[in-house]
């Protein structure tokens, strides 16, 4: 049935798959049964980060569970953490459909969803009822209807709504699908935004705060954000979001053109995301937790990111293409790599190799 979903439009398939996952999570004992069958239990996978104990460094990136509806079952499939969202302070429908496209030849996805969600407060209500058996991060972005000069207050409203229910919070200023959003990555605009959200989370008990950046930033801008994150006592950076580049694709040009504008994710993103990650680690040293995302398909890909300086890794597109048993395969591969390297845990990997 999973393979059959590829025959229907991408967003329809996504909604159906998420609904099945929600149903699995709603069945009494369902998540526990999935966790026993698929969850990471190998001690070689455990990683301490952000003041938390992750059962595996492999997490699900934001964008799959936009409204915090399926996180329990998703965590039970083998992810060490699930990042929900992107959430906005105001409920919004997102961009017009169609807005999600597969590029099968590249195992890639183009999306211009536009932060479709029912609002941070609605998601927070669901998260408030959860059992703490899966680490859940919350990704927040700017409401489309809010003018750019009110962006700080808008992010603060979302942060305040989720502060008591999130294990960590991510400020998303890097999606290409909300007009003007990426402009907030400029340090002079990013500093007051992150300062305000940091103060909000500190007032709520000190929830870890990260920022998610684009792969399309110039190297000097990556350095500037790393310096800013350290100076503001951020807990980490996620590298990276989707790209607006279409270089190196093997899909027919007509298919790429038909998909149109939006963020590209999957293997074509791998090289640049890896380069940004390595640059951040060199610049920030051990002062930040780094989460790698973008083009991670296999255990070897995940291992490469850990060796390049990531503390944790995330995937989205590979899960879409790989199916519900994909996390278990990656976890098994990571544990095997650790043992071949003579390590008790993947957390002991030597960085920069």
Give the pLDDT confidence of 80-99 residue by residue, as tens digits: 999 998 999 999 999 999 99
340-345 contact pairs (CB < 8 A, 24+): 343/44, 344/43, 344/44, 345/43, 345/44, 345/45, 345/46, 345/47
pLDDT score for 26: 78
Residue 249 lies in a domain: yes
Asked if the model's pLDDT at residue 353 lies above 50, the reply is no
In tens, the pLDDT along 53-70 reads 999 999 999 999 999 999
Residue 42 lies in a domain: yes
For 120-143, give the secondary structure using H, E and C.
HHHHHHHHHCCCCCCEEEEEECCC
Residue 282, in any domain of the structure: yes
Q: Measured between alpha carbons, how far is 141 from 167 in angstroms, rounded to an integer?
A: 17
Q: pLDDT tens digits, residue range 247-305? A: 999 999 999 999 999 999 999 999 999 999 999 999 999 999 999 999 999 999 999 99
pLDDT at 335 over 90: yes
pLDDT at res. 302: 98
Residue 139 lies in a domain: yes
CATH number of the domain where residue 104 is located: 3.20.20.70
pLDDT digits (tens, 9 = 90+) for 5-33: 666 889 899 888 888 888 877 788 888 88
Question: Catalytic: 175?
Answer: yes
Domain span including residue 292: 3-348
Q: Is residue 214 part of a domain?
A: yes
Alpha carbons 67 and 84: distance in angstroms, whole number = 7
R_g of the chain, CA atoms, integer Å: 19
Alpha carbons 179 and 198: distance in angstroms, whole number? 24
Query: Average pLDDT of 65-76?
Result: 92
Question: Which one has a higher pLDDT value, 119 or 31?
Answer: 119
| pLDDT surpassing 60 at residue 2 | no
353 in any annotated domain: no
**Cβ pair 226, 284 in contact under 8 A:** yes
Query: Does the pLDDT at position 223 exceed 80?
Result: yes
Reported residue count of the chain is: 353
Return the pLDDT at 320. Answer: 94
pLDDT tens digits for range 152-199: 999 999 999 999 999 999 999 988 878 888 888 888 889 999 999 999
Is residue 111 one of the residues assigned to a domain?
yes
Residue 288 lies in a domain: yes
Residue 1 has pLDDT above 50, yes or no: no
pTM of the model: 0.94
The total number of structural domains in the chain stands at: 1
Catalytic residue among 175, 265, 273, 345: 175
């Amino acid at each position: 049935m999973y393979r059959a979903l590829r025959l229907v439009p991408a967003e329809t398939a996504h909604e159906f798959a998420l609904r099945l996952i929600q149903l699995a999570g709603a069945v009494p004992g369902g998540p526990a049964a999935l966790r026993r069958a698929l969850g990471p239990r190998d001690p070689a996978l455990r990683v301490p980060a952000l003041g938390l104990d992750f059962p595996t460094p492999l997490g699900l990136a934001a964008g799959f569970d936009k409204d915090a509806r399926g996180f329990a079952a998703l965590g039970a499939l083998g992810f060490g953490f699930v990042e929900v969202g992107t959430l906005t302070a105001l409920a919004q429908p997102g961009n017009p459909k169609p807005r999600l496209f597969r590029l099968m030849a590249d195992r890639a996805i183009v999306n211009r969803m536009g932060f479709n969600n029912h609002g941070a407060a609605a998601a927070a209500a669901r998260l408030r009822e959860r059992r703490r058996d899966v680490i859940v991060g919350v990704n927040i972005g700017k409401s489309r209807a809010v003018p750019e000069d009110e962006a700080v207050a808008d992010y603060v409203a979302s942060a305040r709504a989720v502060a008591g229910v999130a294990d960590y919070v991510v400020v998303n200023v890097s999606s290409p699908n909300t007009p003007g959003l990426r402009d907030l990555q400029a340090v002079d605009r990013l500093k007051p935004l992150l300062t305000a959200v940091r103060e909000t989370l500190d007032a709520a008990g000190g929830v870890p705060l990260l920022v998610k950046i684009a792969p399309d930033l110039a190297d000097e801008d990556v350095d500037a954000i790393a310096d800013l994150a350290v100076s503001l006592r951020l807990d980490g950076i996620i590298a990276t979001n989707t790209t607006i580049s279409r270089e190196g694709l093997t899909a027919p040009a007509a298919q790429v053109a038909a998909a149109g504008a939006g963020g590209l994710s999957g293997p074509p993103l791998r090289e640049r995301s890896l380069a940004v990650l390595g640059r951040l680690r060199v610049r920030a040293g051990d002062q930040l937790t780094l989460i790698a995302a973008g083009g991670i398909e296999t255990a070897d890909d995940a291992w490469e990111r850990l060796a390049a300086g990531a503390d944790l890794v995330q995937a989205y597109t590979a899960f879409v293409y790989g199916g519900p048993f994909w996390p278990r395969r990656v976890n098994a591969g990571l544990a095997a790599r650790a043992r071949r390297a003579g390590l008790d845990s993947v957390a002991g990997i030597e960085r920069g190799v």
